[in-house]
Amino acid sequence: MDEQVLLTGAGGRVGEAVLRELGDEYDWRLLFHNPPDEEPDHEYRIGDVDDGDDVAKAVEGVGAVVHLAGDPRPSAPWDSVMRHNIDGTHNVYEAAVDEGVEKFVYASSNHAVGAYETDERTPEMYRAGDEFRLDGTELPRPGNHYGVSKASCEVMGRYYHDEYGISVCNIRIGNLTEGHPPIDYERGQAMWLSYPDCARIHRCALEADYEFETVYGISDNDRKYYSLERAREVLGYDPQDNSAEWDGDEKTV
């Protein structure tokens, strides 16, 4: 990717993970909701994705978009996810089409399919050896308004791909934590995504050739109920971390 890449929501945890590992690999333009505490090493702008003018200025001249911005709270109320997540994503897509952007990487969430975790499946589905897998071909099944917004934006990406030909990758991000995975929390270990693997899957989404894809963003955990096969096959994603390799604060392998 030789052209400049817009990263919205650059001040969040996913943005931190991406920039920590990939900061020197791309010509980034960062969009922050609030002024950053420290001066970034890359060009940046302050703006809101729900403001069409802010978005148009941020997208101007870029060749790809990694869209992370939005209200990240699972408990976020409807008016907030409508404005910041759904309307905000619509603004970014519209600006991307106007600018001729070829690739759009969207940070979806495990909450888009959270209601698959029924009493009949849990807690066994969180344990190594259980064969239940979600692979990205299933219909969304959100369990909260935040999940509804993420599922809605996945479908929005399908429309913009079909209508305008933009390449879209929805990454259903799992449980992103810095350092060790959550100990004594089976669900968190099953959907754990390390910072380095978070960067790896975003690099793959920027570099691979595809049309429209929905994949899961987790590390290669022994415990898992999200399949990594599509991310491996289409994106070339090769996660290097595994929640089973940690014992407390120490990595055992």
pLDDT 10s digits, 39-98: 999 999 999 999 999 999 999 999 999 999 999 999 999 999 999 999 999 999 999 999
Q: How far apart are CA 209 and CA 150, in angstroms?
A: 23
Question: pLDDT (tens digit, 9 = 90+) per residue, 192-239?
Answer: 999 999 999 999 999 999 999 999 999 999 999 999 999 999 999 999
Question: pLDDT (tens digit, 9 = 90+) per residue, 133-188?
Answer: 999 999 999 999 999 999 999 999 999 999 999 999 999 999 999 988 998 899 99
Q: How far apart are CA 18 and CA 176, in angstroms?
A: 12
* Residue positions annotated with a catalytic role: 146
pLDDT of residue 253: 64
**Do the Cβ atoms of 239 and 181 come closer than 8 Å?**
no
pLDDT of residue 184: 83
**Do the Cβ atoms of 67 and 26 come closer than 8 Å?**
no
pTM of the model: 0.96
For 38-76, give one letter per residue: b (16+ CB within 10 A) or e.
eeeebebeebbbbebebbbebbeebbbbbbbbbbbeeeb
Q: Where are the domains of the chain?
A: 5-251
The burial class, CB within 10 Å (0-12 / 13-18 / 19+), for 149 is buried
What one-letter code names the amino acid at 8?
A: T
SS (H, E, C) 168-197: EEEEEECEEECCCCCCCCHHHHHCEEEHHH
CATH superfamily of 5-251: NAD(P)-binding Rossmann-like Domain (3.40.50.720)
